[in-house]
Amino acid sequence: MHPELTALIASIQLADAAAMSRARARQNQLTKPVGALGDLEDLGVRLAGVFGNEKPHPRGVAVLVAAGDHGVAASGVSAYPPEVTPAMVANFLASTPAGPGGAAVNAIARTVGARVYVMDAGVNAELPDHPALVRVSVRRGTRDLRLEAAMTQNETEELILAGAALARRAIEDGADLIIPGEMGIGNTTPAAALTARLLKVDAAEVTGRGTGVDDAVLARKVLAVRQALARTTTTQPLSVLGEFGGYEIAAMLGMMLQAAACRRAVILDGFVEGSAALVGVALAPALRDFLFPAGECAEQGHAAQLAALNLKPMFQLGLRLGEGTGGVLAAPLLLAAAATLREMRTFEEAGVPLGD
């Protein structure tokens, strides 16, 4: 393993238990019935553990969209052709009357004041120069996971470190909430393969319809995952990622690891992000403390990922777009959870009598 990656993994420590204990005690004294803010109370306490303060004050929000193509897409596992990936990268970067970017993630990010970063992690096209495009591609798309390892070990580690570098940049720019996002036609297929191997379940249990494919394409997709899983019995996390993953998935893993190492909160979007999180927690169990799932997405297998991670989603809106859209939608909930814990007064501070 690359020494920088080894050091990054080793640097991730558990959430601050003492800060969480103080936050819980404060939460129970705030001017409301205990538990009246529901899951926001638990989210606030978890944020206290992330930031090491019983009055957490996260501010900037950044969504880091990594784009990459997949060799398996040529087998017809998606409702859309691979040419959509570079077209969507151009859309993320486009100039529109509303501001930079014409995709869903751009529109949602503008509404919550989040900054969008775009990475070419391995798009199978010659992308035009753009000052806002972060270029880290080592190859134009992965290899076909049905037939061979999708990525080499060196490629896998290089993309993880590239994702970590982009997360550091976003944090230096002021982000306290990091949202890994992705774009890549066919990428729910490698995500399903990763999930099936790491959770030790059959492909059909965690392979869904992705872009909304019909029954025939779904059957082809399940077969592709089974063919990939049959090639190798490896269970070592980085090896699993290299065999079945994608460049954008590796980059998102790096984003998560770096954010946790810097003690920032990571908002998980959906199924593809969940597959990266499974790899990450297998490598560094303490990473789990820094993960905040946005919502349970419509993709089959996401619920199994969340159950394995023992994490509760914030909402269920039937999202299945990717791009980090669900993560951006969840950012205001986390900011609100922190604000209530930080800014509400206790009964004593407010002079409100509790009676005998």
Phi, psi for 140 (deg, rounded to 5): -85, 80
What's phi and psi for 99, nearest 5 deg? 140, -175
Residue 68: closest CA among 53, 88, 43: 88
Can you say whether residue 141 is alpha, beta or left, with left for phi > 0 and alpha for psi between -120 and 50 degrees? left
Cα–Cα distance, 289 to 281 (Å, whole number): 10
| Six token digits for residue 297 | 């997405």
3-state secondary structure of 295: strand
Catalytic residue from among 323, 343, 348, 349: 323
Report residue 180: phi and psi, to 5°: -70, 135
DSSP lists the bridge partners of residue 63 as: 116, 179
C-beta of residue 210 within 8 angstroms of C-beta of residue 79: yes
**Taking Cα atoms as reference points, which of 132, 136, 134, 135 lies closest to residue 93?**
132
- Residue 157 annotated among the catalytic residues of the structure: no
| Two tokens, residue 248 | 């954008």
Smallest CA-to-CA distance from 189 within 60, 313, 52, 72 is with 72
Torsion of Cα atoms, 156 then 90 then 165 then 48, to 10°: -110
With the C-alpha atoms ordered 334, 337, 342, 343, is the resulting torsion angle positive or negative? positive
- CA pair distance 243, 228, nearest whole angstrom: 8
* First-last CA distance in the chain: 62
Catalytic residue IDs: 323
